[in-house]
Structures are given as C-alpha cells and as structure tokens.
Structure 1
Amino acid sequence: MTKVLTDARSIRIKGRSFLAVVLSPDLPLDEWLERLDDLAARSAGFFLSRPVVLDVSELALDKAQIKDLLAELATRNVSIMGIEGARPSAIGPGMPPALKGGRPASDFEITPSEPSAEPEEKQEANASKPAPTLVPEVRPVLQSLVIREPVRSGQSVIFPEGDVTIIGSLASGAEVIAGGSVHIYGALRGRAMAGSLGNAEARIFCRKLEAELVAIDGIYKMAEDLPAALRGQPVQLWLEDDSIMAAKII
C-alpha cells in the first residue's frame, strides 16, 4: 500500500544585501580613534542607527585587541554588525560575526529533504512528462534615482545602484548616499556621499555648497575642510590621488 503524504510547505530563506558603513582602522589605533571622535563631533548622529562593519583586514589584531577595539567603539555608540578580514581564531563568543564580501545575494528556498510519497501511477505519469523549460526572470537594473522634492532634515536617501539626482535642496541633518554620482539642484547643506560601493569616478554636483560633510569612495571632508571661497557657490567635487578636489561650476 502506497501512503500519500501531504506536501510540507517549503521554508523560504531570503538573501538580501544592505548598505553599511565600513570602518577600516589604521595604526596607531589611538590616533585613529581620535580622528573618529573628530568626525563624530563635527557630524553629530553620523553613526546613529546605522549598520557598521569593522574591516580589520589591513591589521594583524588578535582576539583581545579586537575586543578592546569593539569596546572603544561601543563607548562611542558605534554598533558593529560584523567583522571583516579577521582571522577565524580572533572571533570569539559574544563578538559580532565574521563577514566576507558584501556581494548582492538572491532569494533561495530550502525545500523538504524528503519528497512526499505519491501513488505509483502518478509517479509514472510525471516521469513521462518532459521537464519544463525554466526561463530566468529578468529584472530591470536601475541606474539612477530622481527625487523631485527637497530632502528634509533627518531624512536619508540611499541608492547604491547608481546616481542620485535631487531636484531641490538637501537640508542640514539630511543625507544622500549613492553608489554613483550625486546631483543636487539646490543647496547642499547636509551630508552627501558618492561612490559608496567603491566608485572613485563618482562626483558630487550642487548649486550651492553649504555641506556638513562630503565623501567620495570613502574619502571625506568636513565643512571646515572645504575652501571658504567655494561656500555658497555652485560646485563640483571629485576624487584625485585619494584627495577630494573642488571647483566652481561656471
């Protein structure tokens, strides 16, 4: 006698990528922490409620040193969601998990390991049918995002897939993070970060430069680091030899 079992529902586990800030400390750590304090002091709330990954691939830190560094970051309200580049032996219980890559991940399903039993007649009928042709789903790839209104204080625009264009101003306390370039047809008063996923060719354009912070490919400048002559002017910013350059748009 063939027993018919009810198909168990498959368990769906979703793969999903998120944009996170990556901190890459350098030696000596005391001086690096001082620079981090300076960034936090000049851009209040920069790390607040933001996922942060600690990249120690350039450092030879043991478990105790990583624990000390995590403790120092915790006192600064920097919550580390994962550690990249550490030796497996340097990650212990109670520490954030080890991370690798940061590549996009697609959804996948885990189906029950034991297929349900079916009557022999039905199995033979299914075996005689040709296997269906699987047509992969093609999703459009967005390369730009247009915001048709000002971005208010406290709001964040995050678009790692490409350029971001804001038809309006970016208020103080607001931020835009783009995988490509940032175009602001108004005043840039908040934080603008271009090339967030490693694009050194990205640029920042604005009608009026009054930024709290600008960054391209992880290199940043604070408001007081920008040329005073460019304040309030239409400006473009780009990366050259690991330094942010700025020039007035004529």
Structure 2
Amino acid sequence: MSKSLFQKPIEIKISTVVAVSAILSTADRIALDAALAEMTGGTADFFEDDLTVIDVAALPSGCGQIDWTGLIALLKKYRLNPVAVRNAPPELAEEIAAHGLTLEPANAKREEPEPVPKPAAAPAPVAVAAAQAQPPAPASNGTDVMIIDTPVRAGQRIYARGCDLVVTAVVNNGAEIIADGSIHVYNTLNGRALAGASGNAQARIFALNMSPELVSIAGVYRTFEDGFPTEYARAPAQIRLVGDRIDILSVNTANRA
C-alpha cells in the first residue's frame, strides 16, 4: 500500500515568524521614498522580501487619506512585503482589507514600548524595526537563552524570542540572527544581527570576530557598506545603543566608533 495513503493532506502547526514594522510618521510617498533610499543605501537586497506590518500610530491627525496602493508599491520597491496594518482606526478596516492587508487592533495598553527605529546617520520619516509576528512558539524551552552550535548559513534566519541568543559557530554572510535580548557570537559574526527586537534598548551584540553587514539594537540600524571599522574588524567587540546612536566598542576597552 502506498505510503502516501497514511499521510495527512495538511497539517497546521505553530511556527515562529519574524516580520518588520514600517512605522510611518508621514504619508508623503516622496518623503518615504527618500528615507528608504537613504536607509538602504542603494542595497537592492537590504530587506529580502521581509514580511512587513505598516504601523500608522505615529501619523499626524491631519495627514489626510493614505494612498494604500502607492504605499504598498513603494514598500515592495524596497523588497518589503506588506501583510498587515497596525494601529489604524476601525473605520479603515474595509479599505485596508480591500488592499489585501490584515488590520491589527490598536494596542492602547502596551506592556513594552514600541521602538521607533531610524538609520544611525539621520532621522527619517519612516522607520523599519524588527518585530514579532504572531503566533510564535517559545524558542528557549523555558530558559533565558537559545544556544546554536551549528553554522548559520546564508539565507537562514534564527529568532530567539524572549531571550538571549548564543551562537558558538560562524554566522555567514547573508544570514540573519535576531533576539529579543542580547546576542553573543563566540565565533565570526558576518551577516545581520538584530538584538533587542521587541524594544529592549539595553540589549547588546557581542562577537569574538566582528564583521557584520548590518546591526540593530531595539530597531535602530547601522549598516557597513564600506566595511566594518578597521580598528574593530575581525576582533572581539560589542555593539550597544546610546540614545539613537549605535556605538561599537572593544570588549576589553572603552574605545568606541
């Protein structure tokens, strides 16, 4: 008898999915386009078709009607994949649904502050932050740390929900590691590292051999198109958030970049 006869046609399981939040402070597409162009620095695969939640909580009350078709097209231009809208008034539910987006309810009482990230160089009217899409499964099995002992390969994404992330193997270019807490890489850190993904500005990123493409703390990004600062590259270093600035420090000294 064929083995396929004993297989279920479909199974539904809880999975961990990571999205980004596009936090708008203007509905002006020209301003948004300029801000995204500055943020990505012309890197075509900066976002790699990341699932995106459009957050409109920061839009001023007099900003006028949102051009959803134009906004969706703009985000897709930068390889952001809009799937939902957060903090929109209920009367927009039908309009939002007509554009294939899900309406997430406004959270009047948030236990954690929503990060308002920006590129390290200058403020911008659009912010893109690492955020958690629901419903995630606990990643740490009741502990405060997730430990990865195998290399993180290009195209692979690891998310340590509600805990720190420890990686003892190399994180390759094109890989992405995310944690709600701090990130510790006891090897070479290439690729992207996003700590404090749920808004923890005290989180840090540590690596014995630091050479990332992009880092983020609580949604504030810094990219390294021209390479990681020479004095810290390929050496033990840490990354922290000071105000709205990403700082790079040696693990053993107070020097910073």
Q: TM-score, normalised by structure 2?
A: 0.70
Q: Provide the residue aligned with 2:20 in structure 1.
A: 21
Task: Return closer, same or farther for 1:141/1:81 CA change in 2, 3 Å cut-off.
Answer: same
Tell me the CA shift for residue 240 of structure 1: 1.1
Tell me the CA shift for residue 31 of structure 1: 3.4
Question: 8 Å contact 1:212–1:223 — kept in the other structure?
Answer: yes
3-state SS in 1 of match to 2:67? helix
Residue by residue, what CA displacement relative to the aligned partner does 1:134-190 show, whole Å, maximum 9, x if unpaired?
xxxxx9623211111221212111112211111021111011011110000111110
CA radius of gyration, larger in: 1
Task: Return closer, same or farther for 1:191/1:106 CA change in 2, 3 Å cut-off.
Answer: closer
Name the one with the larger helix percent: 1
Q: Does 1:55 align with 2:60?
A: no
Task: Return closer, same or farther for 1:140/1:22 CA change in 2, 3 Å cut-off.
Answer: same
Residue by residue, what CA displacement relative to the aligned partner does 1:183-226 show, whole Å, maximum 9, x if unpaired?
00111110000010111111000012211000010001001485
Q: How many residues align?
A: 207
Amino acid corresponding to residue 97 of structure 1 in structure 2: T
Q: Provide the residue aligned with 1:10 in structure 2.
A: none
Larger RCO (alpha carbons 8 Å, 6+ apart):
2
Q: TM-score, normalised by structure 1?
A: 0.71
Provide the rounded CA distance (Å) in 2 between the counterparts of 1:183 and 1:77: 28
Question: 8 Å contact 2:17–2:133 — kept in the other structure?
Answer: no
Question: 8 Å contact 2:88–2:103 — kept in the other structure?
Answer: yes
Q: 2:98 aligned to 94, 98, 101, which one?
A: 94
Moved more, 66-75 or 231-240: 66-75
Tell me the CA shift for residue 242 of structure 1: 1.9
Question: 8 Å contact 2:18–2:133 — kept in the other structure?
Answer: no
Question: 8 Å contact 2:36–2:78 — kept in the other structure?
Answer: no
Task: Return closer, same or farther for 1:235/1:52 CA change in 2, 3 Å cut-off.
Answer: same
3-state SS in 2 of match to 1:20? strand
Provide the rounded CA distance (Å) in 2 between the counterparts of 1:106 and 1:19: 9
Task: Return closer, same or farther for 1:161/1:56 CA change in 2, 3 Å cut-off.
Answer: same
Provide the rounded CA distance (Å) in 1 between the counterparts of 2:134 and 2:195: 19
Written as runs of structure 1 = structure 2, the 5 A alignment for 1:143-158 is: 143-158=144-159
Amino acid corresponding to residue 186 of structure 2 in structure 1: Y
Residue by residue, what CA displacement relative to the aligned partner does 1:51-103 show, whole Å, maximum 9, x if unpaired?
21011110145444344322322333322110012223334042212113579
Task: Return closer, same or farther for 1:49/1:142 CA change in 2, 3 Å cut-off.
Answer: farther
Give identity over the alignment, percent: 29
Provide the rounded CA distance (Å) in 1 between the counterparts of 2:172 and 2:202: 25
Provide the rounded CA distance (Å) in 2 between the counterparts of 1:97 and 1:224: 34
Tell me the CA shift for residue 39 of structure 1: 3.9
Structure 1 runs of 4+ with >6 Å offset: 13-17, 102-107
Provide the rounded CA distance (Å) in 2 between the counterparts of 1:140 and 1:168: 21
Question: 8 Å contact 2:154–2:175 — kept in the other structure?
Answer: yes
Q: Provide the residue aligned with 1:8 in structure 2.
A: none
Question: 8 Å contact 1:142–1:161 — kept in the other structure?
Answer: no
Amino acid corresponding to residue 145 of structure 2 in structure 1: S
Amino acid corresponding to residue 203 of structure 1 in structure 2: R
Structure 2 unpaired stretches of 5+: 1-11, 108-131, 253-257
3-state SS in 1 of match to 2:50? coil
